[in-house]
Structure 1
Amino acid sequence: MTSPPSLRSFVRQHVLDEVARVPAVLGRDSADVITPDRTLRDAALALLTLPGPDDAALAGRLLDSLREFADPELPGFRELIDVTGAPHPIGDVRTPSAQALAAWALHRAGTLTGDDALRAEAGGHWERVAEAVLRHDWPARLDRSADAVLDESGPLEETAVLVLAADALTPATGSAFLDAAADRLERYVHGDAAWDRLTPRGAPDTLRGHRTGSSALAALAWAALHRRGRAGAADLARRVLAHVHEHHRHVGTGGYWDRSSADSAVRVDAVAALHGHPDSPFPAKFVADHALLALAARAVAALDDPGEADGAVLKALAQEAEAELERYSDPVAGGVFHGQGSWFSTPTDPTVPLARHVMVPARTAGSFAVGNTTYVPFHAKHARTQLLALAALGDRTVAFPAAPELVERPEPDPFDNDLGHVTTGRLSEGLVDLDHYLRWLRSTASGLGYGLTPYRSPLGLRSDRTAQTFSVLHVVSDLLALDEPVPNTPGVLTGVFATQNPDGGFGEQPGLPSETFTTYCAVLTAVVLGGADHPGFDRDACVAFLRSCQRPEGGFGNAPGFPGDAWHSHLATLTLVALDARPEREDDLVAYLLSCRNQDGGYGNRPGSPSDTFATFRAIGALIALGLRPPHSERSVRWLRGLQTAAGGFRYRTDGAESFVGSYHAIGGLYMLGARPADTGACVRWITARQSADGGFSRAPGAPSETTDEGFIAVQALHMLEGKLNRSWAVMMT
């Protein structure tokens, strides 16, 4: 495998266009621009991070690109322009931190080119920014004239960036602005943490809690203030970073979540997302945050002797942040991906690896709208992420791990892949109200497909009934399992194949980016409906797309180059098997899956991760689909059975919470291995109690129905608990 370009080369070859403009978001490379619009912040960051001391020519080109943002009528810069340089009206604002970064970038360009007039221009622009900030009492955003306040809230990131810009642009001794900024920064202190935002009254915004990125920027700001003699600044920087390391760390996969609540817990918070500043309720890991953490940890460690304990924390934080930056680097195309998410099995426990950040605010860079939900693919490459990663890592080429050695190949166990029948009989009478459920299920019909719910425009966090490949698979699976006809099969197939992209993969809807996950959903729907030979399906391109998602270490990611795990390795494997194809490096895949196995008999989602029912189900299913017998399966059965609670459901891992989705994976894992739960009757009762009043199913008794996913779990799991589901169906239709 050839080495990818270095990070600086990737930015110069793919992020910058021919005249050094910076589009906000790419797909894998410059051939796939997701958000061509340009932000002032990205243009300034490019000038601050990309040119080296001998890159005066590049600095000049980046300066020309930055000057396209200059407002011809009022002092300052517009903050959003399109790919041609035409201004967007919503960019006619003055965000103090973005304007300060632009002044800082002008100053750097003047330094690199030896242009004193440019440095003087930068100083004048900075003075206007600083004056406006103090005059308006630290606003988040001003209007184009800088006379009216548009947002009175006080983000920590805003204050921290202003400190860093002031440190770069003001004399080494004496700065009234920095004195005021240092006082302002201390108002964010919350014990050992820092609030992410102050309210317009100057009180802590407890709904926002603490954020990794803004905490890292605050630590960098305090490091700068310490160097200027501010007493106590170094200690504040160390404390805030230690809080991130202790409370934001993802123990299962490494790295750091982007947030914690006011009580320093990582959790889903729908109230904060809706009633606080607009945001996704779901925490995520962002590579840009890790770049800032690496920069901050190194900067703070370089201050006065931090002591052995603090020094160890700073070293561990920097190493883990850098490891995440390398892990999310693309081993072929180069560059770094946006990050990684997880769906939460319970309000506090992240479980399923999610390759999209869902329910983000409208107009988020790189976002796509699916019904009443907006999401950002984590396998996109944001300009800000590339530039901050370059600042943190330098111009290095990442060395990617090879596949583990396949010491002992599992015994062969031929897999028939027979999806010609689903069940051996109907569910026992009275378990659930099937007529009610079928009415609910059929009412999710939408256009040529099916949505996640039957509701057209629900409130809260509920999805609507906009057709998606994910929900189409669920509805078709349940209709077939319940021996019900699938209406308008030709139309459903037409809708499914409309989501195939030129790269061969499938998106959630037509035109949306290809993913292993959505490709699996589309292909398996087509296969069980007899549409594998549909004229609208490019099978060879699909196989090629899936094979391109295999990483050097053997596992598959959700998109080409994206980090692999057992979850997506399973989905890619099943899709290839359904298409009568195989992975190109099958032994490497098997070795990777086996390296996820732990001594307790379960599997983690990545090598070294703790066992959970999700990964165990996925790894076992992938091995079976490849025609292999999972080794030591009796130990896996014992471990899975041991997770059942007295209520009948299953904990998703030994020290985890009882989980509806995790229970499905435990039941499925047992069923594929020829076993059932220790107390099958209790498990049946536990599932049936979750039918909601409208006929759908929820993860908790008495709650509103959720999505077709929960309905699929109930119907398929009940068939397995009664021993009536075709084993091949249980393996392939997940």
Structure 2
Amino acid sequence: MTSPPSLRAFVREHLLDEEARVPAVLGRDRADVIAPDRTLRDAALALLTLPGPDDTDLTRRLTRALREFDDPDLPGSRELLDVTGAPHPIGDVRTPSVQALAAWALHRAGTLSGDDTLLTEARRRLDHVVEAVLRHDWPARLDRSATMVLDEAGPLQETAVLILAADALHPQTGSAFLDAAAERLDRYTHGDAVWDCLTPRGAPDTLRGHRTGSAALAALAWAALHRRGRAGAADRAGRILVHVHEHHQHVGTGGYWDRSSADSVVRVDAVAALHGRPDSPFPAKFVADHALLALAARTAAALDGPDTDDGPALKALAQEAEAELERNTDPVAGGVFHGQGSWFSTPVDPTVPLARHVMVPPRTTGSFAVGNTTYVPFHGKHARTQLLALAVLGDRVVAPGAAPELVEPLQPDPFDNDLGHVTTGRLSEGLIDTGHYLRWLRSTASGLGYGLTPYRSPLGLRSDRTAQTFSVLHVVSDLLALDEPVPNTPGVLTGVFATQNPDGGFGEQPALPSETFTTYCAVLTAVVLGGADHPDFDRDACVAFLRSCQRPEGGFGNAPGFPCDAWHSHLATLTLVALGARPEREDDLVAYLLACRNPDGGYGNRPGSPSDTFATFRAVGALIALGLRPPHCDETVLWLRGLQTGAGGFRYRTDGAESFVGSYHAIGGLYMLGALPADTEACVRWITTRQSADGGFSRAPGTPSETTDEGFIAIQALHMLEGKLNRSWAVMMT
């Protein structure tokens, strides 16, 4: 397989247009622009990171593109232009860090071109920003005239970027501002960590806690202050990076989460998301953060004076951050992806890989909305991410991975893929209130599909009933499992096929990006409803899309080029099998799945990851669907059974918490292998107590119902526990 272009080549060939303008977000390449609008921050970063001393023409074009943001009436720059160059009204603000970046970029242009006029203008612009910041006591945002404060909070990144810009523009003479900024920076210190934000009163914003990206920027700022003689600055730069290394690590997949709480724990926090500064409640791994970490760790490790005990940790941090950049490089098209996420079984237990950052604030860069939920697909290629990663990777070409060696050929075990029937009988009388559940389920109907809940405008974090591909699969599956008709099947199929995109994949709704996940949901819904030959379905394009999601390592990702794992390999495999197709490199896929197997009998989501019920179900199911018998099934059964708790549910991994969704995967994994839990009766009781008062199901007894996903888990798992679910259905409909 050929290597991808270097990141510098990708940026020049795909991100920049002929005039060196920078769109905010691409899909896979320049043919797929997700967000064509342009930000001042991205234009400044392009000028700071892309041109070298000999790139005269590129410097000129990037400078001209930056100049398009100049405000003709007031000092400073507008911060948001549309695709035509017209200013967006909401960009008529002054964010100190963004304005400082623009001044810094202008100074860079002057340095590269030898233009003293640009150097003078850049310093004048920065001085204007600094004066406004000091006058208004370090605000997060000012109005266009810089006379009125729009946001009185004090984000750490504002102070850090201003220090870096002032240091760059006044390298020899020093700056009185830097003394005040250093005192300001010290106020963010929290033991070995740093607060991400101060409140308008100057107190720590404990809801925001600690953030990886701002910590890296603060470390870079302290490194700059150390070079100017600031006592203790080098030690602080090292200590806050070590805190990230020790407290933000993602144990399962490597890299670092974007946050930890005030007590330095990575957790989901709905209270902070809804009552603090707007944010997703879910931690995530952002590639841009890893670029900043790599730069900061390299810089801190090279300083004279930091605690020598920090050296190994800083080296490990830099290596892991760079490795995360490489893992998230598109092995064919080039460029780096936005990041990776996860669902959490408990507030502190990341489990299912999720290729979206969900519940982000509306209008977040690169976001899409499905009803009352806004999300950012992690397979987007954000300009900021490309440009920060460029500062780390430069012209380096990231070598594609390779599939593991298939050392243990598997025995064939033909799979009938019979989805013509669902169950062999109804659930036992009295297990659950089936009528109440069906009323709840039917109430999720929305247009030609089904939503996640029956509620039109729920409060809190509950999803609404806006139709989406994911929910349609689960509602249809439960109706068929309960021997109920699916109303308006032609309409449901019309709605499903309306979500197919020109690339052949399916999105959550029409015009939303294609994913392996949503393609699986759409195709399996269509197949069980008899719509595989529907005239609106482009089968060949769908198969081609799925095959393009296979990585050189053999596994499949959620989109072409996106990092692979057992979860998405399973979904892609099942979809291809449902369509009567096969992966192009089937042996590589099998080798990848077998490499996910661990000595305990379980499977991890990636080779080397600890075993969990989710990945075990997915890897075993994919192998069965391919017509292969998973190896050492007795060991896998023994491991899964050993996870059952005294209450009847299952821990999702050996040292993990009891998990509702993890229990479904354990039950399903056992069922596919011809086994049941050691204590089936306790497991049935454990599930049935989770029916909520409105008829739906939740992950914990006595709490509000959640989504059709929880309902699906309950109905399908109960049929398996009673031995009544068609095994092929259990394999294919998940």
Report 1:686-705 matches (<5 A). Answer: 686-705=686-705
In structure 2, how many angstroms separate the alpha carbons of the residues matched to 1:485 and 1:233? Answer: 69
Q: CA deviation at 1:305?
A: 4.9
2: distance between equivalents of 1:188 and 1:563?
35
Structure 1 distance, partners of 2:182, 2:55, is 34
Shift of 1:395: 1.4
- Match runs of 1:309-458 below 5 Å: 309-458=309-458
| Within-5 A mapping of 1:200-599 | 200-599=200-599
Partner residue in 2 for 1:648: 648
Kindly indicate whether the alpha-carbon contact (under 8 Å) linking 2:600 and 2:639 is maintained by their aligned counterparts in 1: yes
In structure 2, the residue matched to 1:612 is: 612
Report if the CA contact (8 A) 2:235-2:305 is conserved: no
CA separation of 1:17/1:186 partners in 2, compared to 1, >3 Å: closer, same or farther?
Answer: same
Question: What residue identity is the alignment partner of 1:301?
Answer: A
Q: Conserved in 2, the CA contact under 8 Å of 1:295 and 1:392? A: yes
Give the SS at the match of 1:126: helix
The 8 Å contact of residues 76 and 94 in structure 1, kept in 2 or not, is answered as yes
Q: Which amino acid aligns with 2:692?
A: S
Aligned length: 734
Conserved 8 A contact 1:74-1:144: yes
Partner of 2:114: 114
Q: Structure 1 regions of 5+ residues with no counterpart?
A: none
Letter of the structure 2 residue corresponding to residue 378 of structure 1 = F
SS of residue in 2 equivalent to 1:681 = helix
Give how far 1:672 is off: 0.2
Q: CA deviation at 1:194?
A: 0.1
Aligned to 1:153: 153
One-letter amino acid of the structure 1 residue matched with residue 689 of structure 2: A
1:373-413 deviations in Å (ceiling 9; x for gaps):
00000000000000000001221110122100001211000
**Amino acid corresponding to residue 433 of structure 2 in structure 1:** D
Amino acid at match of 1:685: R
Q: Secondary structure of the equivalent of 1:344?
A: strand
- 1:347 positional shift: 1.3
What is the Cα deviation at residue 171 of structure 1?
Answer: 4.3
> Aligned partner of 1:127: which letter?
D
For 1:531, the aligned partner's letter is: G
**Partner Cα separation in structure 1 for residue 464 and residue 365 of structure 2:** 23
Give CA-to-partner distance per residue, 1:244-303, whole Å, 9 cap, x none: 000000011100000000000011000000000000000000000000000000000010
Structure 1 counterpart of 2:404, one-letter code: P
Question: Deviations for 1:117-160, whole angstroms, at most 9, x for unmatched residues?
Answer: 11111011111011111111101000000000000000001100
Deviation at 1:307, TM superposition (A): 4.6
> Is residue 238–residue 307 contact of structure 2 (8 Å, CA) maintained in 1?
no
1 CA distance for matches of 2:300 and 2:161?
16
Post-superposition offset of 1:309: 2.5
Alpha-carbon contact 1:172-1:228 (below 8 Å) kept: no
> 1:504 & 1:705 partners in 2: Cα distance?
35
Query: CA-to-partner distance for each residue in 1:669-712, whole Å, 9 max, x for gaps?
Result: 00000000000000000000000000000000000000000000
SS in 1 for 2:340: strand
Amino acid in the other structure paired with 2:293: L
Q: Which amino acid aligns with 1:232?
A: G
Partner of 1:627: 627
Within 5 Å, give how 1:14-53 maps onto structure 2.
Answer: 14-53=14-53
Match of 1:8 in 2: 8
- Over residues 498-537 of structure 1, what are the superposed CA-to-partner deviations in whole Å (9 max), with x where a residue is unaligned? 0000000000000000000000000000000000000000
CA RMSD, Structure 1 to Structure 2 (Å): 0.6
Q: Cα distance, 1:642 vs. partner?
A: 0.2
SS at match of 1:277: coil
Q: TM-score, normalised by structure 2?
A: 1.00
2:54 equivalent to 1:54: yes
Rounded Cα–Cα distance in structure 2 between residues aligned with 1:164 and 1:110: 17
Q: Which 10-residue stretch deviates more, 580-589 or 393-402? A: 393-402
Letter of the structure 1 residue corresponding to residue 429 of structure 2:
E
Quote the offset at 1:172 in angstroms: 2.2
8 Å contact 1:45–1:105 — kept in the other structure? yes
Q: CA deviation at 1:109?
A: 0.3
CA distance in 2, matches of 1:93, 1:386: 25
Distance in 1 of aligned mates of 2:405 and 2:392: 32
In 2, distance between residues paired with 1:281 and 1:172? 44
Alignment partners' CA distance in 2, 1:724 and 1:358: 35
Amino acid of the residue matched to residue 652 of structure 1?
Answer: Y
In 2, are the aligned partners of 1:10 and 1:335 still within 8 Å (CA)?
yes
Does the CA contact (< 8 Å) of 2:6 and 2:394 recur in 1? no
1:174: how far off?
3.4
Between 393-402 and 453-462, the greater mean CA deviation after superposition:
393-402
User: What pairs with 1:655-674 in structure 2 (closer than 5 Å)?
Assistant: 655-674=655-674
The residue correspondences of 1:707-726 to structure 2 (distance < 5 A) are 707-726=707-726
> In structure 2, what residue type is equivalent to 1:596?
C
C-alpha contact (below 8 Å) 1:256/1:285 kept by paired residues: yes
Tell me, yes or no, if the aligned pair for 1:173 and 1:228 is still in contact at 8 Å: no
Tell me what 2:165 maps to.
165
Amino acid at match of 1:521: C
8 A contact 2:235–2:307 mirrored in 1: no
Q: Report if aligned partners of 2:456, 2:464 keep a CA contact under 8 Å in 1.
A: yes
Q: Secondary structure at the match of 1:453?
A: coil
Shift of 1:173: 3.9
Counterpart CA distance in 1 for 2:212 and 2:70 is: 32
State the Cα distance separating 1:170 from its structure 2 match. 1.5
Report runs of 4+ in structure 1 exceeding 2 Å deviation: 171-174, 305-309
The AA in structure 2 aligned to 1:478 is: D
Cα distance between partner residues in 2 of 1:171 and 1:558: 46
Aligned partner of 2:629: which letter? R
Distance 2:705 2:452 in 1: 11
What is residue 181 of structure 2 aligned with on the other side? 181
Q: Distance in 2 between matches of 1:386 and 1:537?
A: 35
CA–CA distance in structure 1, aligned partners of residues 395 and 460 of structure 2: 45
Report SS of the residue matched to 2:346.
coil
Gaps of 5+ in 2: none
Distance in 2, matches of 1:69 and 1:251, equals 42
How far does residue 458 in structure 1 lie from its aligned partner after superposition?
0.7
Tell me the SS of whatever aligns to 2:487: coil
Shift of 1:308: 4.3
- Check the 8 A contact 2:505/2:545 in 1, yes or no: yes
Amino acid of the structure 2 residue aligned with 1:547: R
Q: Quick check: 1:16–1:23 contact (8 Å CA) kept in 2?
A: yes
2:77 counterpart of 1:80: no
Query: What is the rounded CA distance, in whole Å, between the counterparts of 1:221 and 1:308 in structure 2?
Result: 20
Does the CA-based 8 Å contact 2:570-2:618 persist in structure 1?
A: yes
- Partner SS state of residue 161, structure 2: helix
Tell me if structure 2 keeps the 8 A contact 1:297–1:317: yes
Question: What amino acid sits opposite 1:673 in the alignment?
Answer: L
| In 1: Cα distance, 2:212 partner to 2:224 partner | 19
Q: Which amino acid aligns with 2:133?
A: V
Conserved 8 A contact 1:287-1:328: yes
In 2, are the aligned partners of 1:444 and 1:465 still within 8 Å (CA)?
A: yes
In structure 1, distance between residues paired with 2:50 and 2:542: 37
Deviation readout 1:698-727 (Å, 9 max, x if unpaired) = 000000000000000000000000000000
Structure 2 CA distance, aligned partners of 1:162 and 1:120? 18
